[in-house]
Every structure is written in C-alpha cells, then in structure tokens.
Structure 1
Amino acid sequence: MSNAERFLDGYLDAWATNDPDSVRALFAPNATYRSGARDLEPAFGVEEIVARWLEERDEPGTWSYSGAVELQTKTAAVIRGVTTYTQGQKSGIYENVWLVRFDEDGRASEFQDWWFQRS
C-alpha cells in the first residue's frame, strides 16, 4: 500500500471516529495542516493539528465521502473526493482536493484541503 493510500484510509478512519490517536498517527511531529483555501494560518505540529481537528470535527453519521488518490509519488499525493454533509450548517455537497506531502516515515508533513461547495 502506498503512502497516499495509507493516508487516505487513515484519514477516513480518523474523520469517522475523531479519535485523537488516529489523527496523531497520520501526521509528522512538525507537520502543517490547512483545512481550507482561506486558512492562512496553518496548524503547526501534530498536537496543534489534533486540537484543531477536534475543534472543527464533524460528528459521525453527518457526512459521507467518496474519493481516491489521483496522483502520487513516494513523497506527495493529490487526493480528490466529494463530501456530502446531511445535517447542520455544512449541509450540502463539497468537492475536495487534498494536497499531501509525506516524510520519510510516510506520515503527512504538509496537508492542504482545497474545497468548494457544489450545492
């Protein structure tokens, strides 16, 4: 399994559970995390990423995701998907493009989510 495939599987698990250890396992100690294109100040470091993740978390059962790795190398990936939120303020369909860079251990060292609401 590639770094990108492992990251996508782990990300979806962490998203579904909001388990801090699952989130922590995805990212390198000094990783940066931007959850949107307008996120000018990234979360820096795995503990700040976990804190932001939990602050912005989506509750289980309120979303579904369909996506796949579009492009990948050993050190970077582009993952494209569609997220559908069925409840709350986010209700709607969103197009996502994730840009991910990996460290030598296969953990994300940089994550950027580019998204827009389709409907």
Structure 2
Amino acid sequence: MTRASDWLDGYIAAWASKDESDVREIFTDDAEYWFRPDDDRPVTGIDAIVKMWGDPEPSDPDHDLSVLIENDTLAIITGTVNYPGHEKYSNMWEVWFADDGRAKKFVEWYMSPRKRGGQDSAASGA
C-alpha cells in the first residue's frame, strides 16, 4: 500500500466510525480542513475537526474514491460520494501530508452533477 491509500483507508474508517481516535489518526494536531478551496477559513486544529466530524450526515454515504496521483507531500483523491435520498457529489480531494503520514491540510473540491430533464448528467450519459 502507499501513503495515500493508507490515509484514504483511514479516512473511510474514521468517516464510518466517527470515533475520535480514528479521526486523530489521520489529521495532525494543527491540521486545516477546507470544505471548499474558496472558504473564508478552514476548520483548524484536531479538536475542531473531531467536533465537526461528530455532526450528523444527511444519510449513510456510499462512496467510490481512489488515489489519482501522489508523492511524499501531496495526494489527489477523486471519486463520488452519494448520500441516498439527499445528494450525489463528484469529488477531488487534496491531502497535504505531514512527515508522519497524517494530513496537515485537507481540501475538498466537490460538485453536484448537472441536472438535465430530471436526470443527472452521469445517468443520462451526457
């Protein structure tokens, strides 16, 4: 396994468990968590990230995520996240690594598929 795939496995486990120790295993104490690259400010620090991860989800997400590219300091992860009955998102994540393999900066780039004639563009083949 690679640093990025190990981190992604940890992220998915922490996302499912919402367990504080799982979240602390993947983010540094001073990590920045950006929901969007143009946010005014990130969620900063592990305690704030743990608290934020405790917020309820709209439904249990289905996801198809994989590492696109990586080096020792940065991974780009892409894929989809579907919240059944709520929304489906296309994603690209930046994961900036500390020396110990935890994320020191995480940036989500996500969008909802374009709707055409009552269907999303992925379902209609567009």
Greater Rg over alpha carbons, structure: 2
Counting aligned pairs with the same residue, the percent is: 33
Which residue in the other structure is 2:57 paired with? 58
TM-score under structure 2 length normalisation: 0.83
- Give the ranges of 4+ consecutive aligned residues of structure 1 lying more than 4 Å apart after TM superposition: none
Amino acid paired to 1:77? A
Matched pairs, number:
114
TM-superposed CA distance for 1:40, in Å, is: 2.0
Which residue in the other structure is 1:105 paired with? 100
TM-superposed CA distance for 1:3, in Å, is: 1.6
Amino acid paired to 1:67? L
TM-superposed CA distance for 1:98, in Å, is: 0.4
Map Cα deviations across residues 64-108 of structure 1 (whole Å, 9 max, x no partner): 000110010011100001011113xxx122101000100110110
Alignment of 1:1-119 (within 5 A): 1-55=1-55, 57-58=56-57, 62-87=60-85, 91-118=86-113, 119=120
Higher relative contact order (CA 8 A, sep 6+): 1
Which ranges in structure 1 are unaligned for 5 or more consecutive residues?
none
Which ranges in structure 2 are unaligned for 5 or more consecutive residues?
114-119, 121-126
